[in-house]
Amino acid sequence: MEIRTVGVIGAGQMGNGIAHVFALAGYQVLLNDISPDALSKAIAVIERNLDRQVTREKISQEDKTAAMGRIDTTTTLTDLGPLDLIIEAATERETVKTAIFEDLQPHLRPETILTSNTSSISITRLASRTDRPEKFMGLHFMNPVPVMQLVELIRGIATDEATYKTMLGVVESLGKTAASAEDFPAFIVNRILMPMINEAVYTLYEGVGNVRSIDESMKLGANHPMGPLELADFIGLDTCLAIMNVLHDGLADTKYRPCPLLTKYVEAGWLGRKTSRGFYDYRGDTPVPTR
Ligand SMILES: CC(=O)CC(=O)SCCNC(=O)CCNC(=O)[C@H](O)C(C)(C)COP(=O)(O)OP(=O)(O)OC[C@H]1O[C@@H](n2cnc3c(N)ncnc32)[C@H](O)[C@@H]1OP(=O)(O)O
Ligand SMILES: NC(=O)C1=CN([C@@H]2O[C@H](COP(=O)(O)OP(=O)(O)OC[C@H]3O[C@@H](n4cnc5c(N)ncnc54)[C@H](OP(=O)(O)O)[C@@H]3O)[C@@H](O)[C@H]2O)C=CC1
């Protein structure tokens, strides 16, 4: 099946990045969120990130103008009904994702492919709640989407070969590289990355290091581009906690126990960069560690 039109649900940091790369690759994009505010913020972020690519001579001014012209927004989910491909990138909560697919389903064409950008939740389970498990896949982009090369492709137990091949072609058309992962909790990248981040929070919780020394150690000692706590703030602490809970519940092993300090930050509403406070406080000119 040829994909030309794409609906992106959830206009947070991942949704805006996904809309950005699809529009730049020539797809017509309709971006949906429950909040009109989130949609206008997303358009402003996309414009800023495209400008950055123009300044760095990665794309031309004409490419930018054409990409912006290919993105429309809507707060009405059912407007996405006639599109070829749906990418759900709403909050990492299974009930939210299931409700979105249930609401959208009666308005879809039979051939439309459904995907989720979930970081951790079972694709088979999400697919089983739809009328087309064979046309359902995990399409997992990395943050920041315009920069990161990898997209994980996750087949549910019922996903058919035609859907997989179509999505492989879509990933290639974006200039990105696909990696296939089996449908087990958190797939490949987050199965490995998130326990490391959780361990960094334990290292802080147990007083082995402070925020700055933990991040400096991993940047200078292991050549990571960001320290684990800085990266956790960048991903969103609510998302990190949600992924740890999926690992803990899904694999039933105490080694995935979310650190109580991570839970405390989320309970405080200190979710990282998106709320201007997490392991660092971003409200001033430079980030200040909170511990
Ligand atoms: C949770 C999940 O489910 C899965 C995940 O996504 S896990 C998270 C995965 N992501 C990571 O691990 C990111 C780790 N961090 C990094 O790789 C780097 O810090 C970074 C790429 C984010 C920034 O790199 P940096 O060197 O500090 O910044 P900077 O020099 O400004 O940017 C590097 C490049 O990215 C571009 N860039 C950075 N952010 C961008 C954005 N949001 N949009 C577009 N371009 C962006 C810059 O323009 C620059 O491009 P060029 O090299 O082509 O000139
Ligand atoms: N952050 C990351 O690094 C990565 C995240 N992901 C995954 O991508 C998804 C989105 O994450 P991210 O962008 O970081 O999260 P954000 O919190 O930045 O954005 C989520 C957006 O979805 C909106 N939303 C919530 N419910 C609905 C709904 N019913 N319909 C439409 N929009 C809705 C939220 O609105 P409101 O704020 O009003 O609730 C918010 O604007 C998650 O599944 C996450 O696990 C995947 C790769 C990397």
Between CA 61 and CA 261, with CA 11 as vertex, the angle to 5 degrees is 120
Q: Both 69 and 203 in a single domain?
A: no
CB 119, CB 134: distance < 8 Å? no
Q: Both 264 and 172 in a single domain?
A: no
Q: What is the per-residue pLDDT across 6-41, written as a single tens digit (0 to 9) for each?
A: 999 999 999 999 999 999 999 999 999 999 999 999
At 1, the pLDDT band (50, 70, 90 cuts) reads confident
Task: State the CB neighbour count (10 A cutoff) for residue 258.
Answer: 20
Mean pLDDT calculated for residue range 85-110: 97
Give the ipTM of the model, two decimals please: 0.94
Mean pLDDT calculated for residue range 110-122: 98
Mean pLDDT calculated for residue range 220-247: 98
**Is residue 152 among the annotated active site residues?**
yes
- Please report, in angstroms and rounded to a whole number, the separation of the first and last CA atoms in the chain: 52
CB 240, CB 262: distance < 8 Å? yes
Is 138 close to ligand 2, i.e. is its CB under 6 Å away? Answer: no
At 204, the pLDDT band (50, 70, 90 cuts) reads very high
DSSP 40-98: HHHHHHHHHHHHHHHHTTSS-HHHHHHHHHTEEEES-GGGGTT-SEEEE---S-HHHHH
Q: Both 14 and 149 in a single domain?
A: yes
At residue 291, does pLDDT exceed 90?
Answer: yes
Catalytic annotation, pick one of 116, 119, 120, 198: 119
Q: Both 161 and 208 in a single domain?
A: no
Rounded to the nearest whole angstrom, what is the distance from the C-alpha of residue 147 to the centroid of ligand 1? 5
So what's the pLDDT on residue 135? 98
Q: Both 111 and 211 in a single domain?
A: no
So what's the pLDDT on residue 176? 98
Residue ranges of E strands in the chain: 5-9, 28-32, 71-74, 85-88, 113-116, 136-141, 150-155, 177-181, 280-281, 288-289
Residue ranges making up the domain that contains 95: 5-182
Q: Where is the binding site for NAD(+), in residues?
A: 10-15, 33, 92, 97, 119, 143, 274
Q: Both 226 and 261 in a single domain?
A: yes
So what's the pLDDT on residue 138? 98
Strands 28-32 and 5-9: parallel
Question: Domain ends where: 125, 150, 182?
Answer: 182
CATH number of domain containing 121: 3.40.50.720
Compute the residue count for the chain.
Answer: 291
Mean pLDDT calculated for residue range 184-194: 98
Mean pLDDT calculated for residue range 252-279: 98
At residue 2, does pLDDT exceed 90?
Answer: yes
Question: Domain ends where: 155, 182, 209?
Answer: 182
Mean of pLDDT over the chain: 98
* Number of domains into which the chain is organized: 2
Place of tokens 């090369």: 149
CATH number of domain containing 262: 1.10.1040.10
Q: Both 159 and 95 in a single domain?
A: yes
Catalytic annotation, pick one of 49, 88, 120, 152: 152
Question: Domain ends where: 147, 182, 217?
Answer: 182
Q: Both 242 and 130 in a single domain?
A: no
Q: Both 76 and 137 in a single domain?
A: yes
Q: Both 35 and 54 in a single domain?
A: yes
Q: Both 31 and 167 in a single domain?
A: yes
Residue 96 region, left (φ>0) first, then alpha (ψ -120 to 50), else beta?
alpha
**Is residue 180 among the annotated active site residues?**
no
Is 239 close to ligand 2, i.e. is its CB under 6 Å away? Answer: yes
Q: Both 54 and 154 in a single domain?
A: yes
Which residues share a beta bridge with 155? 137
- Which atom of ligand 1 lies nearest, measured to the CA of 240? 1
